[in-house]
């Protein structure tokens, strides 16, 4: 048996073993790799096994077209049109074949045939627009493209083609207008920002181009926060905001945008926000609750969870917010924005992810037999106080790290140290009396005590103990503002050194 016949035998076994879907993928793989010769051989094998499948004829024709074998490609497409008259791709590929062969008139003929057979079909209309652009028949392209947008207003593709058509003609102002329509209909489409920025640069407005690129990262509402650009200046000034509330609103919008983007990157989407802490708590439950069976008495699992959940929130927030200014350093060189914007976004983003976790903690406590109480309302001021603590600490570290970069290497160790010094795994009653006051100078130890006072003891928080934490946060906040005013102008230069 020759090598070729052996290969054919192997191919047939692949087809029979893996079925139609895997067989098609087997032939599509070399096409993605642009190995057209190998792809034609595999499609030929599949035609003997699946002669009633349109792709084995049409995809093979594409491969032959890429190899310059016009005659064989035309033969395969003719058979495809005869066998599958309802498959639009047979006509579209025939038009592409004629165009590649330099026969524009014949290409237009096949596209007109497709338009007659498949009126208002989006792929046909878009292919006709491309052919009109190729032939420099821009009036016809404009007419067809506008019709495609009208018939398929909910699809991004025709709107993008409509905007690109203006750019091909050098109509930059019209292109910016059309890309604005794309953004209004499809605010998450990157092309609506990036390509519009290119048009703005071609029109001689680099300031608008920068703003458009920023809007891609920070959301379409970012554009509305700017005044109209001055025509005689290329300097990017900060958007004029009438109050701190508008700055906080921008932080909120960016944090929400980040949360949505983060969720869309995962298959389980928002469910990960619950699954991650559940897995984290399960590990500690397995080790301390089942394997070691130590500490905390009969309600130790509830005791452990009421410490782990708030501390995990603290750890993640401080870790992410402390490096936020470095992560946003590119933006600071495109537009003047407060460096505090970046850690505050990280803090709000983590707070949004944490709220469902607290609800899950309440469910766990009910499962462990802790009945609800009006004192659980005391959880609100405790959570707000922890949020204030993390905001002050996270922002201070974020401002300090650009000047002392080695500090970023110590933060994980410091968080680990606080984990064991905050009473997550043990009660404050186990601390010797002479060291207990020192123990509660750790604000997280104080806060974890408050959480347990509210959730487990079903009593109001220790307001005196919370007042000391609040006083420390306020004093630290004043020091933070003083430090911020001293270093605000230097941070954009320091972070790139």
Q: What is the pLDDT of residue 388?
A: 93
**pLDDT score for 19:** 66
Could you please report the per-residue DSSP string of 30-59?
HHHTT-HHHHHHHHHHHHHH-TT-THHHHH
Q: What is the CATH number of domain 3-182?
A: 1.25.40.10
Please give the structure tokens belonging to residue 225.
């926060």
What's the number of CA atoms in the CB half-sphere (13 Å) around residue 98?
17
pLDDT for 292: 57
HEC per residue, 388-443: HHHHHHHHHHHHHCCCCCCHHHHHHHHHHHHHHHCCCCCCHHHCCHHHHHHHCCCH
Q: Assess contact for 352 and 274: CB atoms under 8 A.
A: no
pLDDT of residue 26: 87
- Interacting residues of 103 by C-beta distance below 8 A, sequence separation 6+: none
**Predicted pLDDT at 8:** 42
**Where are the chain's structural domains?**
3-182, 245-494
Tokens of 245: 């509330």
Q: CB–CB of 46/77 below 8 Å?
A: no
Say how far apart CA 17 and CA 355 lie, in whole Å: 49
CA dihedral 170, 176, 178, 179 (to 10 degrees): 120
Place of tokens 């699954």: 275
Q: Which segments of the chain have a pLDDT < 50? A: 1-18, 222, 224-242, 295-296
pLDDT of residue 473: 92
Exposed/middle/buried for residue 372 (C-beta within 10 Å: 0-12, 13-18, 19+): exposed
What is the rounded distance in angstroms from the CA atom of residue 320 to the CA atom of residue 324?
A: 6
| Residue for token pair 């992560």 | 327
- pTM as predicted: 0.51
User: What is Dmax (Cα atoms) for the chain?
Assistant: 95
What does R_g of the chain's alpha carbons equal in angstroms?
32
- Distance set, CA 391 to CA 158, 238, 394 (Å): 45, 24, 5
Q: How many other CB atoms are there within 10 angstroms of residue 459's CB atom?
A: 13
Distance CA 497, CA 486 (A): 19
Give CA–CA dist 5/25, Å, rounded.
21
Strand, coil or helix: 206: helix
pLDDT at 46: 87
């Amino acid at each position: 048996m020759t090598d070729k016949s052996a290969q054919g035998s192997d191919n047939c076994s692949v087809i029979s073993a893996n079925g139609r879907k895997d067989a098609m993928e087997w032939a599509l793989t070399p096409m993605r790799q642009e190995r057209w010769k190998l792809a034609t051989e595999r499609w030929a094998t599949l035609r003997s096994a699946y002669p009633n499948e349109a792709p084995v004829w049409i995809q093979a024709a594409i491969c032959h077209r890429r190899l310059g074998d016009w005659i064989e490609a035309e033969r395969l497409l003719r058979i495809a049109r005869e066998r599958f008259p309802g498959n639009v791709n047979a006509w579209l590929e025939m038009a592409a074949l004629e165009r590649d062969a330099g026969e524009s008139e014949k290409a237009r003929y096949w596209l007109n045939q497709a338009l007659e057979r498949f009126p208002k079909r989006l792929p046909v209309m878009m292919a006709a627009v491309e052919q009109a652009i190729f032939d420099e028949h821009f009036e016809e392209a404009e007419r067809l493209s506008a019709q495609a947008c009208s018939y398929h207003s909910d699809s991004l593709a025709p709107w993008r083609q409509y905007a690109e058509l203006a750019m091909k003609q050098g109509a930059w102002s019209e292109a910016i207008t059309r890309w604005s329509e794309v953004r209004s209909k499809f605010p998450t489409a990157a092309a609506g920002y990036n390509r519009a920025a290119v048009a703005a640069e071609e029109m001689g407005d680099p300031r608008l181009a920068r703003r458009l690129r920023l809007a891609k990262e920070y959301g379409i509402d970012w554009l509305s926060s700017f005044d109209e650009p001055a025509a005689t200046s290329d300097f990017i000034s900060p958007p004029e905001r009438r109050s701190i509330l508008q700055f906080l609103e921008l932080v909120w919008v960016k944090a929400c945008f980040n949360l949505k983007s983060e969720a869309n990157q995962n298959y389980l989407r928002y469910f990960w926000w619950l699954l991650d802490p559940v897995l984290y708590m399960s590990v500690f439950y397995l080790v301390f609750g089942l394997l070691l069976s130590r500490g905390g008495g009969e309600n130790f699992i509830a005791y452990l969870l009421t410490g782990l959940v708030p501390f995990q929130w603290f750890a993640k927030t401080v870790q992410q917010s402390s490096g936020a200014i470095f992560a946003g350093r590119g933006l600071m060189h495109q537009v003047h924005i407060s460096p505090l914007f970046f850690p505050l976004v990280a803090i709000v983003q983590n707070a949004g992810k944490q709220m469902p976790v607290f609800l899950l903690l309440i469910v766990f406590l009910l499962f462990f037999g802790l009945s609800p109480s009006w004192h659980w309302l005391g959880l609100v001021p405790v959570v707000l106080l922890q949020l204030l603590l993390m905001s002050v600490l996270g922002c201070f570290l974020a401002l300090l790290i650009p000047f002392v970069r080695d500090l970023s290497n110590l933060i994980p160790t410091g968080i680990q140290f606080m984990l064991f010094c905050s009473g997550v795994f043990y009660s404050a009653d186990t601390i010797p009396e002479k060291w207990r006051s020192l123990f509660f100078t750790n604000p997280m130890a104080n806060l974890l005590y408050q959480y347990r006072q509210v959730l487990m003891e079903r009593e109001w928080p220790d307001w005196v103990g919370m007042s000391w934490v609040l006083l420390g946060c306020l004093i630290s906040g004043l020091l933070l503002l003083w430090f911020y005013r001293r270093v605000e102008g230097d941070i954009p230069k320091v972070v790139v050194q």
